[in-house]
Amino acid sequence: MTVIVEPKQHVDRLWGKQRIREDQTYRLMRYVLRVDHDGKVLLHNVVTGQLAVLDPEEAAALDKLPAPYAPEMEQLVNSHCLVPADADEHLQVINLQRILRLLMPQDSDENRAITNYTILPTTACNARCYYCYEHGVSVVTMTAQTADDTVRFIEEHCGPGREVSIRWFGGEPTVAVHRIDQICEGLLLHGIRLTSTMTTNGYLFDEAMVEKARTLWNLKQVMISVDGTEAHYNEIKDYVSAEGSPYQRVLRNVGLLLNGGVQVNLRMNFDVGNCQDFYDLLKEAEKRYGHHRLLRVYAFPVKGEYPDRSGEVHHGDLKTWGVGKLVELNDAACAAGLYRRSKALPSLHYTNCAAGDPSCMVISPEGNLARCVSIFEREDQIVGTVSDGFAADKSCSLGQHLGDPQECAGCTIFPDCVLIDGCPGGTECFMEESRHKYEAAMFNAYVHWKTGLKEVSQDAHAGTESGICTD
């Protein structure tokens, strides 16, 4: 076995090497991904994060499983890729997650550095998407006083590094661009460095705003949602006081952002009614922007049951239709060179999203502090305010307890997919798309490793010819 990617140290130290039991019959651990490529067998342990290329003898042993222990299995057993037939690796993963969560810093909120913020300058929006999950949320725009209090709160809690990351969210954050300006100016005035990202519909950008985003907001990335090509997009977005074609305006603004050095993730929200538009959107994007290094175009299904303005629901069943269509559309985006699935390999996670991460905080337009941006208005999720700090009598239970749905126990990527009790995101599963993503990551890591070996070999050969010692 040749290790390409080393195991995660914190997991490896805790789990250690698996002891060999020569009287046991061994099988492949359920949390192992296999990719066959170039006559080689790649194995990735989703618990430890280790990626390895097997020797021929090990690969042959793998094809005979389950089987009694044999010497060629030694490293596969030590690395937990093979386990005894009666092993309960699911329970082991749950226990590892619980132990690692107990080892997390237990400082009080007042003393813990908070460096990642999701800030909603407003819940107002200039679009009226029928499927918006924020229907019913109070429309509030942050006041100047709350923006000042936000700056002061961040200064008091950003830690000694005095550097923060901000995600601007809404509503549509650019509706309250003056508050974004005020917060960024205040942070810079207090010597706090910032980088930011934004979830936006992109409609209100123009040359001046892009320049400000680049210089003042230090905006690195935006996620712009679209709903198909021009006819579907304009109908579904239903902008307030729109001028001309909003679709054309947004695509123009995508170009402005790309030229300004901002990465644009163009996400098409699809359902049964508009899914075929994605292929035309790919053509449109390639025609307008070529294969711009900062552009990503991908698809994602509309979740939930929302009737459109005619009362029809177009979403289809997410489990039987949506996930398969998700893979199909994103495969097309990869083939067009406009999307690259993440190169990150999966490994054991014991926190999930910001709700379980003590370095993260949500700030609402009213100045409330919350853990989850999806339910920031719920009273039981508010843990304080930017003006008064954390409330001593309030704590947020979201993210404190792991879920353990038994239907997920056999899923290969379960260790990487942390579910928390009470998560408003539900339990929608995108395992098929994730498997595509992770298998591509394994392949990319292998190619990178193999290329590196060739470069080392060539360098050594050149060094020998020139008389340079390469030892």
Give residue-wise pLDDT tens across range 375-393.
778 887 888 999 999 887 6
Number of other residues whose CB lies within 10 A of the CB of residue 6: 12
Number of other residues whose CB lies within 10 A of the CB of residue 235: 15
Q: Does the residue 398 lie in any domain?
A: no
Residues 6+ apart with CB under 8 A from 432: 323, 324, 326, 327
Q: Does the residue 15 lie in any domain?
A: yes
The region that residue 335 occupies, defined by phi over 0 for left and psi between -120 and 50 for alpha, beta otherwise, is alpha
- Residue 230 is given by DSSP the state H
Residue 253 has pLDDT above 80, yes or no: yes
The predicted pLDDT at position 261 comes to 97
Q: Does the residue 206 lie in any domain?
A: no
For residue 79, give Cα distances in angstroms to 25, 316, 361, 381.
Answer: 16, 42, 37, 41
Percent of the chain exceeding pLDDT 70 equals 84
Say which range, 111-115, 265-269, 339-343, 386-390, has the weakest mean pLDDT: 339-343
* Angle 345-346-350 from CA coordinates, rounded to 5°: 140
Q: Does the residue 51 lie in any domain?
A: yes
pLDDT, average across residues 163-174: 96
Q: What is the pLDDT of residues 394-428, one digit of tens each?
A: 555 545 555 566 677 778 888 887 666 666 655 56
Q: What is the pLDDT of residues 183-233, one digit of tens each?
A: 999 999 999 999 999 999 999 999 999 999 999 999 999 999 999 999 999
The predicted pLDDT at position 414 comes to 86
pLDDT confidence bin for 105, thresholds 50/70/90: low
Number of other residues whose CB lies within 10 A of the CB of residue 101: 16
Rounded Cα distance, 196 and 117, in Å: 9
- Residue 263 is given by DSSP the state E
Reduce the DSSP state of residue 111 to 3 states and report it. coil
Q: Does the residue 74 lie in any domain?
A: yes
* Four-CA torsion 403, 442, 330, 260, nearest 10 degrees: 100
Beta strand 25-28 with 82-84 is antiparallel
pTM of the shown model: 0.81
Q: What are the strands, taking DSSP E only, across 120-233?
A: 163-168, 193-200, 219-226
Average pLDDT, rounded, for the chain: 86
Q: What is the pLDDT of residues 292-335, one digit of tens each?
A: 999 999 998 887 666 666 777 666 666 667 778 888 999 999 99
The predicted pLDDT at position 427 comes to 56
Rounded Cα distance, 99 and 95, in Å: 6
Q: Is the peptide bond before 246 cis (omega within 30 degrees of 0)?
A: no
| Residue 386: φ, ψ to 5° | -70, -25
Burial class (CB in 10 A: 0-12, 13-18, 19+), 208: exposed
Rounded Cα distance, 298 and 398, in Å: 30
Residue 232: closest CA among 291, 277, 295:
277
Range of the domain at 62: 2-102
Give the residue, 470 or 124, on which the prediction is more confident: 124
Q: Does the residue 214 lie in any domain?
A: no
The predicted pLDDT at position 458 comes to 39
pLDDT, average across residues 48-63: 95
For residue 304, give Cα distances in angstroms to 242, 248, 319, 334, 399.
Answer: 27, 28, 12, 27, 22
Reduce the DSSP state of residue 377 to 3 states and report it. coil
- Is 170 in contact with 199 (CB distance < 8 Å)? yes
| Residue 77: φ, ψ to 5° | -75, -45
Percent of residues in the chain assigned helix, strand, coil, to nearest 5: 40, 20, 45
Query: 362 pairs with which residues across the strands?
Result: 118, 370
Q: Does the residue 327 lie in any domain?
A: no
The predicted pLDDT at position 37 comes to 85
pLDDT, average across residues 266-288: 93
* Number of structural domains found in the chain: 1
Residue with tokens 């069943």: 317
Q: Does the residue 204 lie in any domain?
A: no
